[in-house]
Amino acid sequence: MSEQDYINYTRIADAIKYIQQNYTAQPTLEDIAKNVHLSPFHFQKMFTDWAGVSPKKFLQFISVQHAKTILKNTQSTLFDTAYETGLSGTGRLHDLFMKIEGMTPGEYKNQGKHLSINYSYFDTIFGKILIASTKKGICFMSFSDAENDAYFELQKLFPKATFVHNTDEIQQNAMIIYSQDWTNMKDIKFHLKGSPFQIKIWETLLRIPLGTVATYGNIAKEIDNTNANRAVGSAISKNPVACLIPCHRVIKSSGALGNYRWGKAKKMALIGWEAANSTIQNKGAK
């Protein structure tokens, strides 16, 4: 690391420390830049390059994390939570939660308290899979190679929900993926919890044709944000629905498979299986 790089790193570290210590005052870009002796323009670019997000986005994340701690561990009202976080009111708290967490502050506080979720295990050619559903649609789908691991993950997503070990029509419809092209499954609906950006990425994944792959750069270009590769990768890694939302079809621009939350071997098997089935379907169409 050069001397200048070290100086820049130190400034960014000081800026992060300043934000963490003063987020309840909701400092402006100018406030933070002044604290590290940089112009707002120069600081904005430097912080984004080093941290991967803008100073504003980082401040929002820190604010929401603090609000989550209050809502989870205390009996504070939404108004009190907004005040203690340094926000102007419950409307601002609501907007931040929707943007970053994909749910309202009230929904986070309840953590699925009034939600009934059916779940069942199914055997597939790629191993056992757990599918969970509400009345609205599929809310979770995960490979479960180890006993109960997917169920524990489901519980973490909805800590206060009621779970019923029951097979329903919504889950059975989801299993059609292993017998026909998923693009024909019009009856399958989703009940997903995610930020607007995550939902946008997951919707984009649904448009990747069977038997093909796309790169992280392709996805970023699809949403008109060519600089969002890292954010795209983060959203893809948090996809709660295996196979139906085909995050396995995204690879690195180098051609390498890249990471997959259910393992690279499973990712390779899924891509190969879909490519073979796509070829069979195309021949049948002729």
Positions annotated as catalytic residues are 247
Is 56 exposed, middle or buried (CB count within 10 Å of its CB: 0-12, 13-18, 19+)?
A: middle
Spatial distance between the Cα atoms of 79 and 71, rounded to a whole number of angstroms: 11
Spatial distance between the Cα atoms of 239 and 216, rounded to a whole number of angstroms: 14
107-132 exposure pattern, b = at least 16 Cβ within 10 A, e = fewer: bbbbbbeebebbbbebeeebeebbbb
The tokens for 60 are 């929002």
Quickly tell me which residue has 């693009």 as its tokens.
Answer: 183
Give the sign of the dihedral formed by CA 52, CA 100, CA 267, CA 229.
negative
Spatial distance between the Cα atoms of 235 and 5, rounded to a whole number of angstroms: 29
Spatial distance between the Cα atoms of 126 and 242, rounded to a whole number of angstroms: 11
The tokens for 209 are 């044709």
Please write down the long-range contacts of 41-46, taking CB distance under 8 Å and 24 or more positions apart: 43/11, 43/15, 46/8, 46/11, 46/12
Q: Is 252 helix (H, G, I), strand (E, B) or coil?
A: coil
Spatial distance between the Cα atoms of 276 and 165, rounded to a whole number of angstroms: 34
The tokens for 114 are 């009034």
